[in-house]
Amino acid sequence: MNQHPTVVISGGSSGLGKAIGLEAAKQGATVGTFWRGGGR
């Protein structure tokens, strides 16, 4: 896991979380799924 997951968890509630999630999904579908599961 890269540093992306940590950042996503930090700003999951903020709009930034969405942007980070999209970027993470681009780099790896695994990160995107993780963000969807615990990034609400």
Q: How far is CA 14 from the centre of its chain?
A: 11
Of 7, 9, 35, 10, residue with least CA distance to 21: 35
d(CA 19, CA 33): 14
Q: Give the pLDDT of residue 30.
A: 62
Of 11, 4, 1, 3, residue with least CA distance to 39: 11
User: What are φ and ψ of residue 2, in 5° steps?
Assistant: -90, -170
Residue 25 in contact with residue 31, Cβ under 8 Å? yes
Q: Give the pLDDT of residue 24.
A: 72
Question: Which residue type occupies 23?
Answer: E
The pLDDT averaged over each successive group of 10 residues in the chain (40 residues) is 53 65 70 56
Q: Give the pLDDT of residue 35.
A: 58
Q: Give the pLDDT of residue 34.
A: 62
